Chains A and B, each alone.
Chain A
């Protein structure tokens, strides 16, 4: 009879190894900083022309969903990246083609799945942050949800507690949650979390 123990042991080791992968997003951020910061800057510049968010709908980063927000209605379009329809739509909404190509290319290169401008409130005043999610590279195991590195770019420096957790106010009494997640410091204006939700 064939001995199957080595396979069982191998399976258990793989499971343990994948579940214990250390999350070092600070390292990830410093490695990809130029690309990530460029994504944020390009997105912000284009967002000023037309409010939008981008989502890659497949794991090969070939299909995207473009959400365009006008004053009265939100349009959601699905495209394949090579489609000419995409360029037509970008032009129609006065988005700069070369900048958008750069943004899409950069998002593909760091596996950024979703980028959006989120509103949040401090003392009843509306503020914005750029919210982007990158697929974490791990083994895809059945029954294990994929995880995302989520980065939040604020316009102003933020307050953090001694453990590096994002605080909601200068009074430093309460943790600020974004999409129901606690965020941690990368630098004064950028913070991260790891989540099963990318948006």
Chain B
């Protein structure tokens, strides 16, 4: 009996020590925190590169144009452009998060993809298919995206790798698919990408079909912006008045909320980022409620946060 008590006591101490050590290991695990860097670090890194060799993996990407585009993105991240008539807005919003919080990581990942034709970030391995490699650098008639090979390569890789339910009918890239369901991003997919790629803590409210029920949208957005970067999932046909008659009341566009201010009780000024620009617009609270289908609050995860 005495032996048994001593044995269990020892076992308990061992188990306790083991748990403690694993806790320390867990706490020290870098994979559990959101990787961050500063723009200065990214600028110092990219400005040292004076020339790139042509990549055998991306036959249509011109090295000089790629480097110029990469440097421009690091120096002026707001210029990132998703292109006209593409479904790349979700990927552009995601890239804003990446460039905002980890510009050095972004720069290294783009160079890795360009040089080796594949890249890894956290547990996600990008191995773009051959049609993607063939078309990157060769997209035309998309506005400034025509001369932005970094965005072309990155957005195509993201669309090729991540699939949501909207992509199931068109999983393989064919020319012109950047405008179609192949490139579209449903709300769940967007949040999943933000978590898996960058390890953000994502608080999401909303869905693809129903608007979130939020009593005071203005207060909610103000509080959300205090916590982290806020991504809005909007009905763009109403916001930008693309059609004379609204086709369907569904969201189709991702923007980054940069500022929100109440002018008086009837009007709200919102400033958001999309299409390579900041846009300031005055809206009524009811209009704001009408267009917002999703609010994703992306905050940097510290050690051990779930």
Residues of A within 8 A of B (CB): 55, 57, 59, 65, 69, 72-78, 118-121, 124, 126, 135, 145-146, 168, 174, 176-180, 196-199
Please give me the 9 A-B residue pairs with the lowest Cβ-Cβ distance, nearest first. A121-B146, A177-B141, A74-B279, A73-B278, A76-B281, A180-B85, A146-B244, A74-B277, A75-B280
Chain B residues proximal to chain A, CB less than 8 Å: 65, 84-85, 140-141, 143-144, 146-147, 179, 240-245, 271, 277-282
Complex Cα distance A81/B66, Å?
Answer: 46
- With A119-B144, A120-B141, A124-B65 as given contacts, are A197 and B243 in contact (CB-CB < 8 Å)? yes
Interface of B is mostly: mixed
A199 touches B242 (CB 8 A): yes
Interface pair B245/A74, CB less than 8 Å apart: no
Contacts of B147 in A (CB 8 A): 121, 124
Within the complex, the shortest CB–CB distance from A28 to chain B, in Å, comes to 19
Contacting residues, chain A, for B280 (C-beta < 8 A): 73-76
In the complex, given contacts A73-B279, A74-B278, A124-B146, what are 11 additional A-B residue pairs having Cβ atoms less than 8 angstroms apart? A73-B271, A73-B280, A74-B277, A75-B281, A76-B280, A145-B245, A146-B245, A176-B141, A179-B84, A180-B85, A199-B242
**Chain A residues near B243 (CB-CB < 8 A):** 145, 196-197
Bound complex: CA A135 to CA B245 (Å): 13
Residues of B within 8 A of A198 (CB): 242, 244
Q: List 10 A-B contacts (CB under 8 A).
A: A55-B241, A75-B279, A76-B280, A121-B144, A121-B147, A145-B243, A177-B140, A179-B85, A180-B85, A198-B242
Q: Which residues of B contact A75 (CB under 8 A)?
A: 279-281
Give the nearest-CB partner of B247 in chain A: A145
Q: Which residue of A lies closest to B140 (CB)?
A: A168
* Neighbouring B residues of A174 by C-beta, 8 Å: 140
Residue of A nearest to B274 (CB): A74
List B contacts of A72 (CB < 8 A): 278
A49 to B24, CA, bound (A): 63
Q: Closest CB-CB distance, B137 to chain A, in whole Å? A: 11
Given A59-B244, A121-B147: A178 and B141 interface contact (C-beta under 8 Å): yes
Min CB–CB distance A123 → chain B (angstroms) = 10
The residues of B that contact A57 with a CB separation of less than 8 Å are 241
Chain A min CB distance to B48 (Å): 25
Residue of B nearest to A124 (CB): B147
- With contacts A55-B241, A74-B280, A76-B279 known, is A180 near B179, CB below 8 A? yes
8 Å CB contact of A77 from B240, B277, B278, B282: B282
Tell me the nearest residue of chain B to A78, going by C-beta: B282
Q: Which residues of B contact A179 (CB under 8 A)?
A: 84-85
Name the one of A55, A74, A180 contacting B141, with C-beta atoms under 8 angstroms. Answer: A180
Are B278 and A65 in contact, CB atoms less than 8 angstroms apart? Answer: no
Q: What chain B residues lie within 8 Å of A65 (beta carbons)? A: 241
- The smallest beta-carbon distance between B269 and chain A, in angstroms, is 10
A69: chain B residues within 8 A (beta carbon): 277
Q: How far is the CA of A59 from the CA of B243 in the complex (A)?
A: 12
How near does chain B come to A12, taking the closest CB pair, in angstroms? 23
Closest residue of chain B to A144 (Cβ to Cβ) is B245
Residues in A with CB closer than 8 Å to B278 are 72-74
Query: Which single residue of chain B is at the shortest CB-CB distance from A197?
Result: B242
Please give me the residue from chain A that is nearest to B144 by CB atom. A119
Task: Give the CA-CA distance A75 to B146 in the complex, in Å.
Answer: 25
Partner of B240, one of A118, A177, A199: A199
Q: Once bound together, how far apart are the Cα atoms of A72 and B279, in whole Å?
A: 9
Set of chain A residues within 8 Å of B281, measured between Cβ atoms: 75-76
CB of B266, distance to nearest CB on chain A (Å): 13
| Measured CA separation A121–B65 after assembly (Å) | 14
A74-B279, A76-B280 in contact; A120/B245 too (CB < 8 A)? no
Cα A55 to Cα B242 in complex, Å, equals 10
A residues less than 8 Å from B271 (CB atoms): 73
